[in-house]
């Protein structure tokens, strides 16, 4: 299963994208259209949605019912949680993390964006940029989603007017320059009428760019991964204890970044001992090289003491080893805020530690980007810059350089809930 793309019959590449926007922006209609036009929507799903919609007396079939899966969501007509949707075209397979847009669901937006290759932000052409659009763009840039697409929707309701589109595009681009958005594409669409969603629109000859789906199929994501810094967090030590494999000792894990090859010199952190890679193994046989996101088993030439939470890297390219962590934290707990001097468990790569909050430097208003330096706690859905001291050193990189070694979660030890997400800066 570790063959390359080109040598396999099944040549689909995987693209994960997060959608942000509210029902009013036409997000559900857009997702419904992508599913429908790619034949990923099944007849019985459609029939069920149609029946519920008709039963409620809706004037048209409400595509939001497709994605709003929980009883309370359908009852209240709102999206509460991230829903995952899947569709495929001959070019690619797509995983959509459909996230609710309202501010009280910032944590869900952050969750959906954490694994996304691309973020799709919707605005209503009649309304232009609103507070919510800016917040979505900011969160996606904070989470370092490599590609961003702004869909200016409901172009049919503004007579497909180029001037309306240009105004919104320019305003958004001006805002995006203040953020870190590596790749931005802006597409005028009508999700309801289908303009520029799957096929290029006849109504907007002034728009020279590709349709949304064409862009999703073609956007170059292979370079998004960090193939430079070798980081291999050891997940599990494989020791068969059988007569056939008496001395076998392999370090199992998923490659976070970089390219590893047999013969490479590696350093084990935090011990600092060095060895060479004897082999990189999978159940299908050894590999000549391994890269993210492959799950492999690495064997070393020397007998070293290596366990879960340790990290393999190259001696000349090491992560930071530090107990003092500066991070942007998104707080996700309804019950209790993050507090100064609060103690929490954290999970970072395959490593568990405890941490104390030494300082809350500021709380950030995600709408205005204003910094409130008087804050000394973070409540649900608030984001702020925090200094932590950990019980043991974290083997980390700046999140900006490495999403896999720069992110961590915060766990409340009293009830084991995940209460926050941290981005190392």
Q: Taking CB under 8 A as the criterion, which residues in 48-107 touch other proteins?
A: 48, 52, 66-72, 74, 80-86, 88, 92-93, 95, 107
Cβ atoms < 10 Å from Cβ of 95: 16
Give which of 124, 133, 229 is closest to 184, Cα–Cα.
133
Taking a C-beta distance cutoff of 8 angstroms, is the pair 207, 196 a contact?
A: yes
Nearest approach in angstroms of CB 244 to other proteins is: 7
54/174 with CB nearer other proteins: 54
Write phi, then psi, for 138 (nearest 5 degrees). -65, -45
First-last CA distance in the chain: 36
**Coil, helix or strand at residue 294:** coil
Token pair belonging to 390: 């950990």
Name the residue nearer to other proteins (CB basis): 170 or 245.
Answer: 245
Shortest distance, CB of residue 41 to other proteins, whole angstroms?
9
Interaction between residue 37 and other proteins (CB under 8 A) = no
Give the one residue of 44, 59, 303, 305 binding other proteins; rule: CB under 8 A: 44
Tell which positions 384-413 bind other proteins, by CB under 8 A. 403-404, 407-409, 411
Q: Where in 162-201 is the site for other proteins (CB under 8 A)?
A: none
What DSSP assignment string belongs to 175-238?
Answer: HHTTS--SEEEEEE-BTTTTBTTTB--SS-TT--S--HHHHHHH---GGGS--SS-BEE--EEE
CB-based burial label for 194 (10 Å; 0-12, 13-18, 19+): middle
Kindly state whether residue 248 participates in binding other proteins, applying the rule CB under 8 A.
yes
With respect to other proteins, which residue has the nearer C-beta, 133 or 297? 297
Range 368-387, binding other proteins (CB under 8 A): none
* Minimum distance, C-beta of residue 96 to other proteins, in the bound complex (Å): 10
Distance CA 119, CA 176 (A): 13
Closer CB to other proteins, residue 145 or residue 152? 145
Contact 88, 40 (CB under 8 A): yes
Which range of residues in 230-238, 353-361, 368-376, 386-394 is near other proteins by CB under 8 A?
A: 230-238
Question: Which residues inside 207-226 make contact with other proteins, applying CB under 8 A?
Answer: 222, 225
CA 310, CA 349: separation in Å to the nearest integer? 9
**Local structure of 246: helix, strand or coil:** coil
Alpha-carbon distance 255 to 170, whole Å? Answer: 39
Smallest gap from Cβ 359 to other proteins, in A, equals 23
Minimum Å gap between C-beta 74 and other proteins is 7
Exposure on the CB side of residue 100, measured as CA atoms within 13 A: 16
How many H helices and E strands in the chain? 9, 23
CB under 8 A: which stretch of 26-34, 149-157, 180-188, 235-243 binds other proteins?
Answer: 235-243
Segment near other proteins (CB under 8 A); pick from 1-9, 121-129, 266-274, 380-388: 1-9
DSSP for residue 25: G
Q: What is the DSSP letter of 103?
A: G
Whether residue 382 has a cis bond before it, omega within 30° of 0: no
**Closer CB to other proteins, 69 or 205, in the complex:** 69
Question: Please, which of residues 349-368 interact with other proteins by CB under 8 A?
Answer: 350
Nearer to other proteins, 224 or 326 (CB): 224
Contact 82, 67 (CB under 8 A): no
Q: Which is nearer to other proteins, 275 or 297 (CB)?
A: 297
Shortest CB 303 distance to other proteins, Å: 18
Q: Which of 135, 136, 348, 385 binds other proteins (CB under 8 A)?
A: 348
Binding residues with other proteins: total (CB under 8 A):
87
Minimum gap (Å) between residue 6 Cβ and other proteins: 8
Is there binding between residue 227 and other proteins (CB under 8 A)?
yes
Nearer to other proteins, 85 or 154 (CB): 85
Site string for other proteins, 278-317 (x = CB under 8 A): ----xxx---xx-x-xxx-x----------x---------
């Amino acid at each position: 299963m570790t063959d390359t793309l080109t040598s396999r019959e099944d040549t689909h590449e995987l693209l994960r994208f997060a959608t942000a926007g509210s029902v009013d922006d036409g997000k559900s209609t857009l997702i419904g259209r992508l599913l429908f036009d790619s034949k990923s929507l099944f007849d019985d799903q459609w029939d069920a949605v149609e029946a519920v919609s008709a039963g409620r007396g809706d004037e048209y079939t409400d595509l939001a019912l497709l994605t709003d899966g929980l009883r309370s969501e359908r009852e209240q007509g709102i999206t509460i949680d991230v829903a995952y949707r899947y569709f495929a075209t001959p070019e690619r397979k797509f995983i959509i993390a459909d996230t609710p847009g309202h501010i009280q669901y910032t944590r869900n937006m952050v969750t959906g964006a954490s694994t996304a290759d691309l973020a799709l932000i919707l605005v209503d052409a009649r309304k232009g940029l609103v507070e919510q659009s800016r917040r979505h763009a900011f969160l996606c840039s904070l989470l370092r989603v490599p590609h961003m697409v702004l869909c200016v929707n409901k172009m049919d309701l503004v007579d497909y007017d180029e001037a309306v589109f240009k105004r919104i595009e320019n305003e958004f681009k001006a805002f995006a320059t203040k953020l870190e958005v590596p790749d931005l594409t802006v597409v005028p669409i009508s999700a309801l009428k289908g303009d520029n969603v799957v096929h290029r629109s006849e109504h907007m000859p002034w728009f020279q760019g590709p349709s949304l789906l064409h862009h999703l199929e073609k956007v170059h994501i292979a370079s998004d991964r960090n193939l430079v810094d070798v980081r291999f967090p050891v997940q599990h030590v494989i020791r068969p204890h059988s007569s056939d494999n008496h001395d076998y000792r392999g370090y199992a894990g998923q490659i976070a970044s970089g390219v590893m090859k047999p013969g490479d010199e590696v350093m084990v952190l935090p011990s600092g001992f060095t060895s060479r890679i004897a082999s990189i193994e999978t159940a299908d046989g050894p590999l000549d090289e391994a890269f993210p996101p492959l799950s492999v088993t690495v064997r070393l030439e020397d007998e070293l003491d290596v366990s879960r939470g340790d990290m393999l890297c190259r001696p000349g390219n090491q992560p930071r080893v530090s107990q003092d962590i500066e991070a942007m934290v998104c707080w996700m707990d309804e019950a209790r805020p993050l507090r100064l001097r609060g103690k929490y468990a954290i999970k970072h790569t395959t490593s568990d530690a405890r941490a104390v909050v030494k300082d809350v430097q500021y709380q950030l208003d995600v709408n205005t980007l204003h910094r409130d330096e008087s804050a000394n706690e973070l409540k649900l859905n608030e984001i702020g810059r925090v200094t932590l001291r950990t019980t043991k050193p974290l083997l980390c990189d700046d999140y900006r350089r490495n999403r896999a070694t720069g992110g961590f979660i915060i766990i409340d030890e009293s009830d084991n809930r995940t209460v926050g997400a941290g981005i190392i800066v």
